[in-house]
Amino acid sequence: MSMKRKITREGSRKSARDADPAVTIGAGGEVHQQADGNVPVLTTQQGVPVADDQNSLKVGARGPTILEDFHLREKLFHFDHERIPERVVHARGFGAHGFFENYKSLSDITKADLFQRPGEQTPAFVRFSTVAGNKGSADLARDVRGFAVKLYTKEGNWDLVGNNIPVFFIQDAIKFPDVVHAAKQEPDRGFPQAQTAHDNFWDFISLTPESMHMIMWIMSDRTIPRSFRFMEGFGVHTFRLINRKGKSTFVKFHWKPKLGLQSVVWNEAVKINGADPDFHRRDLWTAIQMGDYPEWELGLQLFDETFAGRFDFDVLDATKIIPEELVPVRRVGRLVLNRCVENFFAETEQVAFCTQNIVPGIDFSNDPLLQGRNFSYLDTQLKRLGGPNFTHLPINAPKCPFQHFQQDGHMAMVNPKGRANYEPNSWNGADGGPRESPDRGFQSYPAGEEGSKGRYRSETFADHYSQARQFYISQTNTEQDHLARALVFELSKCERPDIRGRMVAHLRNIDEDLAQKVAAGLALKELPDSATATRPTRKDLKKSPALSILLNGPDTFKGRKVGVLLTDGVDFDLFIALQSAVKKEGALMEIVAPKVGGVQASNGTWIEAVQKIDGGPSVLYDAVALLVSEAGGKLLVKESAARDFVADAFAHMKFIGHVEAAAPLLEKAGVYDSRDEGFIELDRRGGVAKFIEACRQLRLWKREAAVHLALAP
């Protein structure tokens, strides 16, 4: 009997959550774990018993979060101050300067100054980051990537603090300390670093059904991007745009990379971290230094109250998206990064992003996660940068005129001039200082709010599985396989079988075939019942091609890198032909040789190398070429790093250009008899052009079946 059939027919048919009588599920689908005689009551730091640790205090089920929620404020305040001096999350980052250029006036939907004049360029600073790892962690951890943009507009700084994933783990900011605590290294042992493959994380996730949509995203290839240049960015939350007439339009923000999407595979990511833990940093730095400036387009999903009311899910729920097929993304401008920082600490490390930093014409929604972030970010920067004057640092200071009465404090570098340091005052001229402006000043959208005060989770937030399923079915077969493998890998690092079982119980609500694959990969003896769901999974949601990386890849090899392995005696004319073709494509070619000094070509020309073979493995490149002489090929057979160069390129589905003299190396690497259309012979009869054309596909995914065992027997 196959494993798949065995785990289908057997089992206790008992959900892991059903086995815990202290667990109840709220109206919004959130999990409540109640104290009993053997478990102490959760309290605040002041000893006040906590009635609800899942929901912040709101005005009505879908209303704004109330500032008087002392439990929320205490919890976030303490969390924000846990680490000094590095960021609590997003500690490992890399930034660059650039500009945003508006395509056309958007005055019909917003009065935001940067969107008024076509062609106008607004200075920008962008910081990319991982979330869970410390400053010294590696770039290719499986993790969400921060995509934070600071725009220095003429009416103040606007911080669009987003990620490369459009949803989040939780629906309410009160749970933010918990999800980060669970994802970070376990406190009794201080590891694992920069990864979620451990019991604490999956224990929390398996008890938090609202996370299931995010889990599909983070277990996909989105969390191992090839480069910052090849990934999307999202504002995550629903915001408002306000025009001069006071009309509000809901908006979701997207950043679309001009070079298309691309990720690596997991085995490749692991090896990149060993070969070059600064892979993403180096990639961005090199591209900018070479003048190959990374570029994204800003896209807007615009909708009104009527659409929000009839949408199948709540637009205030940060665990949900609005599919692009339902509300198309309108591209309104471009973001270009064209200058590296001059000092990493002064700029990248000290830059402070706050979601509360918006400008006239942009406003918030009542998304409870966004409301909590607005409180938390400022508090975090006060602690991390030593006080309230972090805005005096050049990287954080507005580039437009600014005047206020705020003074003194730790490290005050600029204090107001004049006699008055208060308002209203009756002093005239400079002594009186600045005055408010009802016409130009920021005014919040006057949304009507009503409802009783309480700790709520709106029932419209209660469907935790339908969009998770939609994401999964929108992936190609290759991507679905990668996602399943990622789940198996991560859950295999959990020591407790009950945690693995709880996760499979959730997966059954998303896709039965996915659950079966993961259960088989974990060798579960019994298949648990589906987890209790507040709302049944909808099977009618259509596939969304926009959610797939492979369906949104480029049709060019531009911006990618070819690693060329050379030996003495290389055919010089063939080398020049390949070099010319790669350059014409807009890609980069890097020379790898047995010795870093270089090689002597067939005509006596010396060709300098960038990498020595054991320091330039094929995982650093998007495709490889083997330009070796007959004698050089025979020598490389004895070099283990050269064999790995070829074997890894094959295993990672890369295109391999080669000359006939490379046959002994292909044979020694164990791939000679497995040659497929991904092997292109480089000759003077069109082989170079054929190789470049093949590279535009990025990977030969059909090869994957030959290099991996199936998940289920």
Residues annotated as catalytic are: 90, 163
Backbone angle region of 248, left / alpha / beta, with phi > 0 → left and psi within -120 to 50 → alpha: beta
State the helix-helix crossing angle for 70-80 and 176-183, rounded to 10 degrees.
Answer: 30
Distance separating alpha carbons of residues 278 and 93, to the nearest angstrom: 11
**In this structure, what are the phi and psi dihedrals at residue 622, rounded to the nearest 5 degrees?**
-85, -20
SS3 578: helix
11: left (phi over 0), alpha (psi -120 to 50) or beta: left
Rounded CA-CA distance 195/335 in Å is: 30
Cα 222 versus chain centre, distance? 7
Q: Quote the DSSP letter at residue 50.
A: P
- Cβ-in-10-Å burial (0-12, 13-18, 19+) of 695 comes to buried
3-state secondary structure of 592: strand
Which residues, at least 6 apart from 367, have a Cβ–Cβ distance to it below 8 Å? 237, 238, 316, 317, 318
- The backbone torsions φ and ψ at residue 579, rounded to the nearest 5 degrees and listed phi first, read -60, -45
d(CA 158, CA 362): 9
Residue 362, C-beta contacts closer than 8 angstroms, at least 6 positions apart: 110, 112, 158, 239, 240, 241, 242
What is residue 346's DSSP assignment? I
Task: Burial-class residue 565 by CB neighbours within 10 Å (0-12, 13-18, 19+).
Answer: buried
Torsion of CA 549, 550, 551, 552, to 10 degrees: 50
One DSSP character per residue, 127-162 reads EEEESSS-TTS-TTSS--EEEEEEEEETTEEEEEEE
| Chain centre distance of CA 115 | 26
Q: How far apart are CA 438 and CA 436, in angstroms?
A: 7
Q: Which of 236, 222, 168, 210 is nearest to 466 (CA)?
A: 210
Side chain identity, residue 127: R
Contact 228, 95 (CB under 8 A): no
The Cα 500–Cα 510 span in angstroms is: 16
Location of structure tokens 């259309």: 677
Pairing of β 623-627 and β 561-566 = parallel
